Amino acid sequence: MVALSDRKIEIVRTLVESAPDKIVGGLQRALADTNGDTVLASVRQIVETETRDRLLRNAVFQPVAPLCVGDGSDKNSLVFPARALSCIWSGLKAQVPAEVAAAAKVSAEAATAVATGRRAPDPNAAFDSLVRLTADALRSGDQRDFRAAAEICDRARPGGAETLAACLDIAPVVRRAIARLPEWVAHASGDTNAGARLAYKDSVAIADDAGPRFFEMLAAQLTPPWMVLRIISAVMDKPTERYLADSEVGGFPERVMNAIDEELKAIAGMDLDAGPEAGRAAGRLVDLITQQVFELEVCIELTRESGWGRRILEQKQSLASVVEARLRDADKLSTAALPLQSSSRFSRPRKTGPKLDTPPDSKAVGRTMTLLHFAHEIRRGANHGGFSAAHAKAMEKIGGMIDHYVDEVLDHIRTGDVEDLKIAHAYLRAAADFNGLVRDNKAAELLRRRAATACEADSPQPLKPKAG
């Protein structure tokens, strides 16, 4: 097969170099099996070269790389345009190619040592040297790529270039802290708290206003980012809400509480017609809020009467309220999806048996499934969220309704009061699906077997041909 021309190779290289990391990674996986003298083999070589280059870049700029996302215009957190990272890396390679090559060499040696079980050399000194060069070059703007990076950052936010340079100033401190993040987040103790405090002091020794940047850079390394509250709490020895609110890092808890408000709105506005995934997504938000509230309560000394403590208490009450409302909706809709007939022979209308003259209402069944997926998703965190009793009561009520409905339908099938078995079976299948979410898969499968057995037993048997 004819190889790509040099001009087309350069076009592909330019496209690959400008693509986001996620796209480049996807291309690498897609081209992994390409070999030989094919057109794709040359593309694969370009992608692999770019992948190695980006791995080195991200290692050098590990403390700031996660902050370089999108267009850098997010006002709720410290971010920079992704293009700025590409520009400063290009600038480094153009301005100090020997130092970049040396960093690549020590990085490769470290990777080889780890793979072979030998003691690995520490590449951090080489990386930190490049970071310091970058901060200086970004401020001076003498080189074209660094000047472009500064302009991009300043367009995204006022003083963006200087803020990025200030982040690079404390990058060596943050790099050492990143290695200890799992320990700091997982095990709060005197030793781990002391390590976090020392790293914080090292950063503010470089710049008095470095504290917020230090925590922003650590938060970008964590999943989820709000786990940085544990480190803030360790550094400040579990501060009171008033002290933390008046400090330069008071925005971190505020950000979490604002996110909770948005998550509560999303749960309340769940689209019941969007299907089971919408229900599960809303259920995951419930668990997320529960975790966020827990972190706020554990990391900060709160007062229930006012301030953050009062706001968090109201959020917990709102969460319980919106969850209970959704559980009531699940009860109403499940009853509508498995309808009973009403008789007017009595002074008050009474439900006399399953309504099996029309097929199930697909909209009612779909909405019920959405809400039951929601209820199923929140079952583990119901106790911590403060709605365990409401959840248990709703599931017990819906489960009892399903049992009664199924018994009634099966009884009608046995007595021959069902005109269309297909309709009856459709209702039983819907009830089984509901049962699987209210109880478990075994309960759902048992109901499906009972339905299949009843419907098969009541189906007319085909006549057998006479012998001879």
Summarize pLDDT for 251-276 with one digit per residue, the tens: 999 999 999 999 999 999 999 999 99
For residue 429, CA distances in Å to 15, 359, 365, 372 come to 52, 12, 11, 15
Beta bridge partners of 341: 353
Q: Please tell me the predicted confidence (pLDDT) of residue 5.
A: 66
Q: Is the peptide bond before 460 cis (omega within 30 degrees of 0)?
A: no
As a three-state string, the secondary structure of the chain is CCCCCHHHHHHHHHHHHHCCHHHHHHHHHHCCCCCCCCHHHHHHHHHHHHHHHHHHHHHHCCCCHHHECCCCCCCCCCCECHHHHHHHHHHHHHHCHHHHHHHHHHHHHHHHHHHCCCCCCCCHHHHHHHHHHHHHHHHHCCCHHHHHHHHHHHHHCCCHHHHHHHHHHCHHHHHHHHCCHHHHHHCCCHHHHHHHHHHHHHHHHHCCCHHHHHHHHHHCCCCCHHHHHHHHHHHHCCCEHHHHHCCCCCHHHHHHHHHHHHHHHHHHCCCHHHCHHHHHHHHHHHHHHHHHHHHHHHHCECCCCCHHHHHHHHHHHHHHHHHHHHHHHHHHHHHHHCCEEEECCCCCCEEEEECCCCCCCHHHHHHHHHHHHHHHHCCCCHHHHCCHHHHHHHHHHHHHHHHHHHHHHHHHHHCCCCCCHHHHHHHHHHHHHHHHHHCCHHHHHHHHHHHHHHHHHHCCCCCCCCCC
Q: Please tell me the predicted confidence (pLDDT) of residue 440.
A: 92
Which amino acid, 439? R
Residue 229 in contact with residue 253, Cβ under 8 Å?
Answer: yes
Q: Please tell me the predicted confidence (pLDDT) of residue 6.
A: 63
How many residues are present in the chain? 468
Single pTM value for the model:
0.83
**Would you state the structure tokens that stand for residue 301, as one six-digit string?**
């000394």
**Would you state the structure tokens that stand for residue 12, as one six-digit string?**
């592909």
Cα–Cα distance, 444 to 286 (Å, whole number): 25
For residue 206, CA distances in Å to 63, 127, 340, 395 come to 16, 18, 73, 57
Which amino acid, 429? R
Residue 264 in contact with residue 322, Cβ under 8 Å?
Answer: yes
Cα–Cα distance, 206 to 202 (Å, whole number): 7
The tens digit of pLDDT for each residue in 279-329 reads 999 999 999 999 999 999 999 999 888 899 999 999 999 999 999 999 999
Residues 6+ apart with CB under 8 A from 307: 241, 242, 245
Cα–Cα distance, 402 to 400 (Å, whole number): 5
Of the candidates 49, 57, 136, the residue with the CA atom closest to the CA atom of residue 89 = 57
The tens place of each residue's pLDDT in the chain, 468 residues long, gives 456 666 766 676 666 666 676 776 676 677 676 665 566 767 777 777 777 888 999 999 999 999 999 899 888 889 999 999 999 999 999 999 999 999 999 999 888 888 888 887 889 999 999 999 999 999 999 999 999 999 999 999 999 999 999 999 999 999 999 999 999 998 767 777 899 999 999 999 999 999 999 999 999 999 999 999 999 999 999 999 999 999 999 999 999 999 999 999 999 999 999 999 999 999 999 999 999 999 999 999 998 888 999 999 999 999 999 999 999 999 999 999 999 886 444 445 455 688 888 999 999 999 999 999 999 999 988 888 889 999 999 999 999 999 999 999 998 888 888 888 889 899 999 999 999 999 999 999 999 998 888 877 655 544 344 443
Beta bridge partners of 6: none
Cα–Cα distance, 175 to 217 (Å, whole number): 10
Beta bridge partners of 342: 351
Cα–Cα distance, 133 to 87 (Å, whole number): 14
Residues 6+ apart with CB under 8 A from 84: 68, 72, 149, 152, 153, 164
Q: Please tell me the predicted confidence (pLDDT) of residue 62.
A: 97
For residue 37, CA distances in Å to 3, 5, 30, 177 come to 7, 13, 17, 46
